[in-house]
Structure formats: structure tokens, C-alpha cells
Chains A and B, each alone.
Chain A
């Protein structure tokens, strides 16, 4: 059986279809926001939030919630707001506070799972939460619809506020001085990030989310020089990488999350070389 036949066979399974729908949407949303995140030096928020989301999942599984999104989403959103505040407050050393917050959430999450979990395969559970090894292939219909709904909201908000997001990212002081409510837009960006993190938990697991957010943006920045082009390119690269990574993972039976990230890294190096050659030539 050649590869194409194998692929078309896989695509008859609904779990593969679901995985692709979610994978593409998550990749798209995370890459769009990734550009702003990288340029605003907000990457730390993404990283911190992903750990918080892990803590949220731990609590949800301990409490025995059937749909853990209902708990994880609000926890992550609240943390996003708190982290943004901490990051802007020079007095309480933002970066240290964030490190404390995120490592604390990670540790407590693992502790909770250890103490209270009824699962027979605890380390497997933890591993899949951190690295997303199989959860993408076991999505329920509700998960998929939640993901579609959340992505639609993220995309819509991003498109509607694209120009404002650019302005606040490029020069926040100017934006504030000329009457843009930068505080509100920073909050909006943090909320979008929270939504994307929760979405991406399914695809790559909490430890690898940052990669999904950062790599496509950095790759696109090697190739293009306008904000619009970088944003579009980042989105395209991310979707392609997610698709290729997902397929590779299915065919080669490797972990989905890390395969996608590996493809992202490979693409980054290709873009880096193209950028370096293009600059010289």
C-alpha cells in the first residue's frame, strides 16, 4: 500500500478528520497571535499560561469534570489578566513573578494529580497533558465544536482589531498618546492568548504550546518585511506545518505534538537560510 492510499484510508476515520480540523484551526490562531506576542515581548505570557493551563487540567481531572475545558478556560483567562498586570508592573519584577506563577502551577498540578488521581496510568496521563501525545486523536465531538467556536471568535476578533493590534504592538506610547485605549487592547490580546493556549493544549500539550506560537512568527519574520505579510505568512506556515506534522505522526506513529514542533523547527531553519541568502544576494 503506498503512502497516498494509506493517507486516504486514514481520512475515512472521523478521529483523523477531527484531529485535522482542530490541528489546522489551532495552528492558524496561534500563529496569528504569535506575531504580536513575539514583537510585544509577550512570549513569557504564553509560556506562563501554558503551565497554568496544565494546573487547571490537573484540577479538572481530580474533580472528575467530564469536560475539563469548562474549568481550564476561565482559569487561564483569569491568569492571563493577572500575568499581564504583573508584566507591566516594574516594581514586583514581572519576570520573576511569572516564573513563580507558572512553575508553581506546574508543581501543584502534578502534586494534585499524584495525590488524588484514580487513573491507573498516572505518568501516562501527565505525559499526555504535557506533551499532548494522544489527546488530539481522541477528541470528542464536543471538543471539536468547542474548538471551532473558540477559533471562530479568535479569528473574528483578530481581523476586526488587526489595525489596532498593529498600532499597540508597534508603538504603545504613540497609540495611547493619540487616544487609543491601549490598556483595553492589551487586555484583549491577553484574552486571545488565553483562548489560543487552551485550544492548543489539545494539539501539542502544555509544554510545547510556546513552540507553536513562536516558531511560525519567527520563520515569517525571516522572509517578509511588512506586518501584514508576516502575519499571513506565519499563519500559512503554521497550518502547513501542523498538517505535515500530523500526517507524519500518523504514518510514522510518532507523538503528534513533538512531530509538529519538529516540522516547525525545520521550517524555521529553512526560512532562516532563505532570509540570510536573500539579504546577501
Chain B
């Protein structure tokens, strides 16, 4: 059984449809890249996969015993309130909360997990810093570290490289690749930059005027002939 199955899903707001008749599956170990124009509904789809947004029609099902507590999520850069007082460490640790149930305080192993996530992203030096005073790229890393604390099986990333400089972008793609290959995490990533993201992905979902779902190779043949590949 697949990890995630979308079955004839339609998405939209207030009855206005943005995406219709979307069907695809994600299997454990896949690296799915979601592409499409601005406003085509990529973020909406990701929210629907996470259960934050209800599809207008169709079904989204999880399999392989996937539970909500095993999902990590990196939201599209939302303007977290300008004046929110929170340190990097507080934010990264909060990634551990979902799976804790009612246990009120962080355990030593959770602190260790947060530390290794920060270490992996090279932000240990920022642990005590205030989140809102960091640069865009640093903030992105903090939120990814938080997602790493939350994930055990599935990682959803909404435009993780937006606002990053070229070097940081390359590092981010490398890192996600490593997580996918070495930690066996299933990855679903929304990306703008097709050319940079495709080498790492196993599958592509293109939404917008044309719907496409298939492996990267199929995508290449299909779209290079038509001359659409960016």
C-alpha cells in the first residue's frame, strides 16, 4: 500500500475550484517534486495532504501506518509575527511536541534530537538567538531543523529554497537528498526552480493548466518534446 494516495481530489476555497481531478500516489522512499505556476495551488495541495485544508471532492488516504505525528513540515515562508519573542532552540524543540502526547516536558533524548538537527543544519551557534533577528536563509534552516525533529517518515517542504542565496540553495538540496537517501525519509517538495530540483527527485507532479504525474524520466521526455521544460 502507498504512503499517500490522492484519489480524484479537487481543491479550492469557498467553492471556487483551483485544482480538479488530481490523482497520484507517493510510496515510501519516494522524492516527489511538485511544480507549477504561482497561484496554481501547490501550497493548498500540501495543506490538504497535511489535513489542514479540506478537499472539495475526492479522497486523500494515508497508508503504511503513517501517522500525523510522524510528519515533518516546512511551511512556505510565512511572515511569523514580527515581534514574536522566541529563540532558535525553543522553536526547534517544538518540533518534538507532536509525538509526545500529554507528556509535559522535553526529555533528554528530545533535546539531543533537537541538538543533532541543529548540528546537521549548521545552526548550533544560533541556538540562543532570537528567531526574528535572523536572516531569511537562517530562518529557513531553523524551520527545517524543527521539521526534522518532527519527522520520522515523511517530510513536506514548501519552497524550501525561497530567499536563499545560490550556495545555501545548493546546500539545501544536498541536505534534503541526504535525508531522502540515508534516513530513508519520503520527501514531498514544492519547488520553483525545476532545473535545480529535478536531478534529486524521483517523481514529478505538475499542477496548473496541464496536470502531470509520473517519474522524472517520463516528465523529461514528455515535456522536453513540447519544449516546456524550464
**Which residues of A line the B interface, CB within 8 A?**
39, 159-164, 166-167, 170-171, 173-180, 221, 224-230
What are the residues of chain A within 8 A of B156 when measuring CB–CB? 177
What are the residues of chain A within 8 A of B71 when measuring CB–CB? 177-179
Q: Count the A-B residue pairs with Cβ separation under 8 angstroms: how many?
A: 90
Q: Is the CB of B106 within 8 A of A39?
A: no
Q: Is the CB of A229 within 8 A of B85?
A: yes
Q: Is the CB of B90 within 8 A of A227?
A: yes
Q: Is the CB of B104 within 8 A of A163?
A: yes
Q: Is the CB of B67 within 8 A of A179?
A: yes
Q: Is the CB of A176 within 8 A of B150?
A: no
What are the residues of chain B within 8 A of A180 when measuring CB–CB? 97-98
What are the residues of chain A within 8 A of B28 when measuring CB–CB? none
Within 8 A of A (CB), among B180-211: none
What are the residues of chain A within 8 A of B50 when measuring CB–CB? 176-177
* A contact face: mostly helix, strand, loop, or mixed: helix
Residue from B51, B80, B93 within 8 A of A176 (CB atoms) = B51
> In the complex, A160 Cα to B102 Cα: how many Å?
9
Closest A residue, CB atoms, query B50: A177
Q: 13 interchain pairs (CB within 8 A)?
A: A163-B104, A171-B94, A173-B52, A173-B73, A174-B75, A174-B150, A176-B51, A177-B156, A178-B73, A226-B85, A226-B128, A228-B90, A229-B85
Closest B residue, CB atoms, query A164: B97
Q: Closest 10 A-B residue pairs measured CB to CB? A: A179-B69, A178-B98, A225-B130, A179-B98, A179-B68, A177-B50, A226-B87, A167-B94, A178-B150, A177-B73
Given contacts A174-B146, A177-B71, contact A162 B84 (CB under 8 A): no
Within 8 A of A (CB), among B83-140: 83-87, 90-91, 93-95, 97-99, 104-106, 128, 130, 133
Given contacts A171-B80, A178-B72, A180-B98, contact A161 B104 (CB under 8 A): yes
Nearest Cβ distance between residue B51 and chain A, in whole angstroms? 7
Q: Is B81 an interface residue (CB 8 A)?
A: yes
Q: Is the CB of B85 within 8 A of A227?
A: yes
Within 8 A of A (CB), among B149-179: 150, 156
Nearest Cβ distance between residue A175 and chain B, in whole angstroms? 7
Closest A residue, CB atoms, query B97: A167
> In the complex, A85 Cα to B128 Cα: how many Å?
36
Given contacts A180-B97, A226-B85, contact A163 B68 (CB under 8 A): no
What are the residues of chain A within 8 A of B86 when measuring CB–CB? 166, 170, 225-227
Nearest Cβ distance between residue A153 and chain B, in whole angstroms? 15
Closest A residue, CB atoms, query B150: A178
Given contacts A166-B94, A176-B51, contact A230 B85 (CB under 8 A): yes
Residue from B68, B99, B130 within 8 A of A177 (CB atoms) = B68
Nearest Cβ distance between residue A82 and chain B, in whole angstroms? 23
Nearest Cβ distance between residue A52 and chain B, in whole angstroms? 27
> In the complex, A174 Cα to B91 Cα: how many Å?
11
What are the residues of chain B within 8 A of A179 when measuring CB–CB? 67-71, 98-99
Given A170-B84, A171-B80, A173-B78, 11 more A-B residue pairs with CB atoms under 8 Å apart are A39-B81, A170-B91, A171-B78, A173-B52, A175-B98, A177-B71, A177-B73, A178-B68, A225-B85, A226-B85, A226-B86
What are the residues of chain A within 8 A of B105 when measuring CB–CB? 163
Residue from B80, B87, B94, B98 within 8 A of A225 (CB atoms) = B87
